[in-house]
Amino acid sequence: MTSTVMPKVKLGSQGLMVSALGLGCAGMSGFYGPPKPEPEMIKLIHHAIDSGVTFLDTSDAYGPHTNEILIAKALKGKGLREKVQIATKFGLRWIDGKPEACGDPAYVRSCCEASLKRLDIDCIDLYYAHRIDIRVPIEITMGEVKKLVDEGKVKYVGLSEASASTIRRAHAVHPITAVQNEWSLWSRDLEDEIVPTCRELGIGIVPYSPIGRGFLAGGPSLVDNLIEGDFRKVCIILNISKKILFSMPRFQNMDHNKIVFERVNEMATRKGCTAAQLALAWVHHQGTDVVPIPGTTKVQNFNQNIGALSVKLTPEEMKELESFASSDVVKGERHAYMQYTWINSDTPSLSSWKSS
């Protein structure tokens, strides 16, 4: 396969060019079960680049830290650095098994320095705030990111799981190139406000978990076969109600939610593609400003995902697919910690910060 197969697209309005499909690398270093063998993952990254998928998505939170090191090893000494666009992230850390966002300027700077070292590069192509710290005005966090851009340590800036108002405020400090939020057939909560805001401001959209964290590829059998330690199966105990929830509650409701997969899978059979390809094609059809980053640890699945670019959907087929996973069909939140997503990402005003 040659690199001409994969189109390059403009992401955002500042000049960043990326492959029309990215590669989510988180699962290579854990998260969905234990870390995968390094030599195999390096081969997969090389295969992705050979296939024209040059937009690599990582974060300091993946591993933590080891995913960035894996990418550095894959790129080292092969003249690949100039061929790829590395997107990494700061600002999400795990304290006692719980996620916490941090947007303090000193922390932002230290994260950037550490990521540059681990990735063994001079400049991060796209640097996202991984989660928004609601204690710190977004202008303060972005002010530090802007300095990093001015110093040549970061080229383009992004936000992940940010609300429309946070995106607008951040964009006023420094142009935002991309917003990365969960977006798939069964996670469409960003469509009302976030997508229109990005389009108004010329910001690219990078859907993560476009295959519904694997559900839209494997359905209930994927859930039955999840192994211990897989984040989709991890339970958390909510502080207040003491209720035990899956960290991704939808995966707890398979008797109900399996119908979504069954319908997608049935339509995929009709169209002569796989359910994963159909789910990904639906995301691709959202627009040329949308660059999904499906995560995989397998060459075979990666090849399938590239194939999704050739699956064409009519407006009627898009509607049909959407009807399979409407919000009244899907049971359970996409995340047990919805309070750490864009839903609760508005930060204090700059004036209240200055006066405190």
Identified binder of ligand ATR from the candidate list 217, 264, 278, 325, rule CB under 6 A:
217
Name the token pair of 36.
Answer: 């995968």
Dist CA 242 CA 354 (whole Å) = 38
DSSP 241-291: T--EEESSGGGG-HHHHHHHHHHHHHHHHHHTS-HHHHHHHHHHTT-TTB-
Q: Which is nearer to ligand ATR, 14 or 301 (CB)?
A: 301
Q: Which residues of 266-280 are buried (b: 16+ CB within 10 A; e: fewer)?
A: ebbeeeebbbbbbbb
- Please identify every residue annotated as catalytic: 62
Cβ contact 252:246 at 8 Å: yes
According to CB under 6 A, which one of 58, 305, 341, 347 is a site residue for ligand ATR? Answer: 305
Write the binding mask 256 to 295 for ligand ATR: x where contact by CB under 6 A, - elsewhere: --------------------x-----------------xx
Among 12, 27, 204, 332, binds ligand ATR (CB under 6 A): 27
Q: Which of 22, 30, 103, 218 binds ligand ATR (CB under 6 A)?
A: 218
Tokens of 256: 């109900």
**In the set 54, 209, 265, 345, which binds ligand ATR (CB under 6 A)?**
209
| One of 18, 74, 211, 223 touching ligand ATR (CB under 6 A) | 211
Backbone torsions φ then ψ of 237, nearest 5 degrees: -110, 120
The H-or-E segment that residue 306 falls in is: helix 299-307
Residue in 12, 24, 30, 332 binding ligand ATR, rule: CB under 6 A: 24
Least distance in Å: CB of 341 to ligand ATR?
Answer: 14
Q: According to the binding rule CB under 6 A, does residue 131 interact with ligand ATR?
A: no
Residues 37, 34: Cα–Cα separation, whole Å: 9
Rounded Cα distance between 331 and 354, Å, is: 43
Question: Please, which of residues 146-185 interact with ligand ATR by CB under 6 A?
Answer: none
Binding map of ligand ATR across residues 91-120, x = CB under 6 A, - = no contact: ------------------------------
* Residue pair 194/159 in contact by the 8 Å Cβ criterion: no
Among residues 128 and 153, whose Cβ is nearest to ligand ATR?
A: 128
- What is the rounded distance in angstroms from the CA atom of residue 149 to the CA atom of residue 127? 10
By CB under 6 A, name the one of 265, 304, 341, 345 that touches ligand ATR.
Answer: 304
Residue 41 beta carbon to ligand ATR: minimum distance, rounded to whole angstroms: 10
Residue 14 or 66 with smaller CB distance to ligand ATR: 66
For 2, counting Cβ atoms within 10 Å of its Cβ (0-12 exposed, 13-18 middle, 19+ buried), the class is exposed
Number of residues that bind ligand ATR (CB under 6 A): 22
Residue at shortest CB range from ligand ATR: 295
Amino acid at 34: P
How far apart (Å, rounded) are the C-alpha atoms in residues 239 and 242? 5
Tell me if 199 contacts ligand ATR by CB under 6 A: no
Q: How many CA atoms lie within 13 A of 285 on its CB side?
A: 21
DSSP secondary-structure letter at 37? P
The nearest distance, CB 77 to ligand ATR, in angstroms, is 26
Is the separation of the CB atoms in 27 and 36 below 8 Å? yes
Nearer to ligand ATR, 123 or 267 (CB): 267
Question: Could you tell me if 38 and 29 are in contact, meaning their C-beta atoms sit under 8 angstroms apart?
Answer: no
Nearer to ligand ATR, 90 or 215 (CB): 215
> Mask: binding to ligand ATR, 30-69, rule CB under 6 A, as x and -?
--x-------------------------------------
Q: Can you give the binding site for ligand ATR, defined by CB under 6 A?
A: 24, 26-27, 32, 208-214, 217-218, 276, 294-298, 301, 304-305
